[in-house]
A and B are shown apart, each in its own frame.
Chain A
Amino acid sequence: MIEISGLVAGYGGLDILRGVNLSVDRGGITCIVGPNGAGKSTVLKAVSGILRPTAGSVTIDGTDLTGRDPEAILRAGVVQVPQRNGLFTRLTVRQNVLMGAYVIRKKRRQNEARYDALAETFPILATRPGVLAGTLSGGQRRMVEFARALMLEPTVVLLDEPTLGLDPASLAIIGDSVRAMIAAGTTILMVEQNVRFGLCLATHATVLTAGTVALAGPAAEIAAHPSLMDLFFGDAKAAGGHEAGAR
């Protein structure tokens, strides 16, 4: 469904991704984990069109979408829920969700029907549609963002750290929402800081370190990896701290 090949991308002269290969099967959830600075969010941004890659390709369902505008990528059925600041605080819940269908805004009836359908999965759409998004709690905002992402009935949803800023109690709700998206036939590529949560939810996992893929495979295998912490701490523990006598 999603084929990423040899992706190179970065900002300000700094290459963050240095040749990333990744693929996601239709209907699956792949979670990207890894230390910070590894480039996890950068992968999503290169797919959604916010960032133009300098090399490599991104193919969705056979169509090459490398370097296209975000709008074109939206129309191709790929939606991203960003890490933060996804909502427009000065618009209401209903307005925020409907804005998800901005590129097909002419189809009023269809969009409104879709809104009502989504309210069944995300009750807040029905209970508090007129509330300003800026007044919602973190968990509620995420719900609204998910609903908005689904307005276009996308084939691919990119989730950038869905649990960011949420308390542990909200995690279950996020998990349910993600599963609901899968049930609707979406393919999900997500980045998660909370490694355990991500690997628990996903079917497949990719470990990204320093801009390249260090490890990839079924989520359960990666999760059962004997030294998961080495992802973050590398061979540090073996080195046992700084070289003795280097003072």
Chain B
Amino acid sequence: MNKNGMNGKGMTQAGIRRTLVALALVALAVFPLVSDDLYYQAMLILTFVLAIGATGWNIMGGYAGYISLGNSAFVGLGAYTTGILAAKDNLSPFLGCLAGGLVAAVAAAILSLVTRRTRGMYFIIVTFAALQLLGIVATIWSGLTGGSQGLALPIPTWSLTYQNWPFYYPLLALLVLSVAVSAWVRRSKLGVGLFAIADDEGKAAGLGLATNADKLIAFVLGGTFLGVAGGIYAYYVTFLNVSAVFDIVTSMLIVLSALLGGRGTLWGPVLGAFIIEPLANLTSTSLGGANAGAIRLLLFGGLLGLVVLFLPRGLIPTVSAWKTQRQGQGQKQPDPERLRLPLAATMTQEGDQTEAAPAQRPHADATTMAGTGTVLAVRGLARSFGGLRAVDDVDLDLPPASVTGLIGPNGSGKTTLFNLVDGTVRPSSGRLTLAGRRVDHKSRQARAHAGLARTYQLPRLFPSLTVLENVVLAERRFSVARLFLPRVTVAERGRAMAVLDDLGLAQYASTSPATLSYGQRKLIELAQVLWLAPALILLDEPAAGISPALSQRLAGMIRHLRSEGVGVLLVEHDVAFVASLSDRVYVMANGKIIASGTVAEVSADQAVVDAYLGDQVALAVGNPVESAS
């Protein structure tokens, strides 16, 4: 998905696009003034409504990845709010539409709360069910909504010379506004947060992103536009009918427009709407008769199916990918599937990096807890899965400015312990104190804000963002003002480019991390989590699968971190690597800590030997096994 327009053509393409858009806008603005054709005016009005709907949907479903089948609910809420206020209180249309937007915004906010518990396909089902329920409730409350009898709004009272202009221009303005907001979102930190959520919400939370706040804003933006459009639409049609308004087909048309044009792009939903609505109009006028509805359904249902099957990314991304291929730019396509480079190539690349002093880490603010006691204190931590005690009464103390290793045989509970510390899993019992704060039941964001960072054995990066954006993504504290900043501020760019330079990866700054090799992605992930200026960093098998040269480099970076006051806890199978770095190791077996000390000490501990080699076994037949020295 070419969300970021990462084509190298730069100015020229953007310039062409801007000119086209300006021309189209002028044409649309001038059209009602020069033409008397009411048919096309009406069609354009409905197109604007659909385009606004699709653009709003796109913020939720395209940017943040939450597909909703129930968006006509927002339109319906806006329409009915406006309609009820118009019929009962004779409120000015302007205020009525705003009220519609407000009600829809509240509904959208509630929906965003739902995402705390329900994601993926369950979320889709919830939106579908909510729409159905709303329709039924609206029918039942016929006193308020007119039920299946319908609700009538006051008929327009202006002179006929103005035709439909009082609907046309506000809708056009609303469309321009919604696209402008969508564009702003894409360029801001809010947008970056949403794309990150769509790629890997858990990891985004682990980097301190306020995912719930981001989703709330995104949903409310989407919902409000739909609600206001619904209000204007209500005045336009002057008659509301529950089954026509809270209709799944309208929802489907919104989704289809966005998917057809390109989910996640800026103009895709608008393009899609400008294709779909005229098509709908065409079919309803040319295919009269009893079968018109069925044929329309066939057409649009079929189109939706075809788009998902054969054009899953939508028109704009597919065309731009095709163009890039033709021009043979040789640009690597962002590919969420791993692009594997053969081992030899990886080693050459890494060998070429200058093996200089360990890279500068961006420790701008010295909030590390150096010298003020332990960075991580674990007491009696336990976690069971079913009947299995994965972590059993573990006590641990990590001082600042230290490197501690966590080793042990397979299934000893090391990964679960990591997951308990970083918040992926909640403990059954026990206490966790991070830099002086109790965090055992805190969210992942809260832990990140308290100074915790973690890497993964298979690096988790965000393929929809560039390498540079990946590096500067993490947030140590939440502030609403930050959301308004551009995706990468000048100061951040400076710092991040310095980091990338040190790593020798500066040339990849504008590409997607999906194109990098395994080793390179490990380095980027480390840079990414270090952006948090953490007090404690958990490294999950940092040395796994990388060349000895890179492994040395990593060791250097870890030593540097220690000298800056950071506490490092690493899980590693490569005990030699651990030994060369750690001040201390803990050995885990069967969920418990069975030994701690230096590597030399623990390797002489009989309990540790037994854990690794297996309990002393007396088998009647066969070779008696010498016990290890």
- Interface stretch of the complex, out of A6-14, A59-67, A73-81, A144-152: A6-14
A213-247 CB mask vs B (1 if < 8 Å, else 0) is 00000011001101111001111110111110011
Task: Give chain B interface residues in 564-610, CB to chain A under 8 Å.
Answer: 573-576, 578-583, 598-600, 603-604, 609
Task: Give chain B interface residues in 395-423, CB to chain A under 8 Å.
Answer: 401, 403, 409-411
Residue contact B579 to A233, C-beta cutoff 8 Å: yes
**Total number of residue pairs linking A and B with CB closer than 8 Å:** 148
Residue contact A228 to B628, C-beta cutoff 8 Å: yes
A71 vs B581: C-alpha distance when bound (angstroms): 46
Chain B residues with Cβ below 8 Å from A247 are 401, 562-563
Residue contact A241 to B616, C-beta cutoff 8 Å: no
Nearest CB of chain B from residue A10's CB, rounded to whole Å = 7
- Kindly report which residue of chain A lies nearest to residue B597, judged by CB atoms: A241
Which interface residue of A11, A198, A220, A234 has the most chain B CB atoms within 10 A?
Answer: A234
Residue contact A201 to B619, C-beta cutoff 8 Å: yes
A156-196 CB mask vs B (1 if < 8 Å, else 0) is 00000101110010011001000100000000000011111
Chain B residues with Cβ below 8 Å from A164 are 411
Chain B residues with Cβ below 8 Å from A171 are 617, 619
For residue B612, CB closer than 8 A to chain A, the reply is: yes
User: A164-B411, A236-B579, A242-B403 are contacts. A196–B629 as well, Cβ < 8 Å?
Assistant: no
Chain A residues with Cβ below 8 Å from B502 are none
- Kindly report which residue of chain A lies nearest to residue B343, judged by CB atoms: A15
Chain B residues with Cβ below 8 Å from A8 are 343
Residues of B within 8 A of A (CB): 338-340, 343, 401, 403, 409-411, 457-458, 517-518, 521, 541, 544-545, 559, 562-563, 573-576, 578-583, 598-600, 603-604, 609, 612-617, 619-626, 628-629
A246 vs B402: C-alpha distance when bound (angstroms): 11
Chain A residues with Cβ below 8 Å from B403 are 242
Residue contact B573 to A36, C-beta cutoff 8 Å: yes
- Kindly report which residue of chain B lies nearest to residue A192, judged by CB atoms: B614
Residue contact B625 to A13, C-beta cutoff 8 Å: no
A38 vs B578: C-alpha distance when bound (angstroms): 16
Residues of A within 8 A of B (CB): 8, 10-16, 18, 35-38, 54, 161, 163-165, 168, 171-172, 175, 179, 192-201, 210, 219-220, 223-224, 226-229, 232-237, 239-243, 246-247
Chain B residues with Cβ below 8 Å from A165 are 411
User: A164-B411, A193-B409, A200-B622 are contacts. A243–B580 as well, Cβ < 8 Å?
Assistant: yes
Nearest CB of chain A from residue B552's CB, rounded to whole Å = 13
Residue contact A197 to B575, C-beta cutoff 8 Å: no
> A233 contacts which of B411, B541, B603, B623 (Cβ < 8 Å)?
B603
Nearest CB of chain B from residue A32's CB, rounded to whole Å = 13
User: A15-B343, A246-B559 are contacts. A241–B628 as well, Cβ < 8 Å?
Assistant: no
Chain B residues with Cβ below 8 Å from A200 are 617, 619, 622-625
A226 vs B623: C-alpha distance when bound (angstroms): 16
Residue contact A236 to B603, C-beta cutoff 8 Å: yes
Residue contact B576 to A236, C-beta cutoff 8 Å: yes
Residue contact A242 to B579, C-beta cutoff 8 Å: yes
Chain A residues with Cβ below 8 Å from B625 are 196, 199-200, 223
Nearest CB of chain A from residue B124's CB, rounded to whole Å = 27
Chain A residues with Cβ below 8 Å from B562 are 247
> A196 contacts which of B411, B563, B617 (Cβ < 8 Å)?
B617
User: A16-B545, A199-B625 are contacts. A236–B575 as well, Cβ < 8 Å?
Assistant: yes
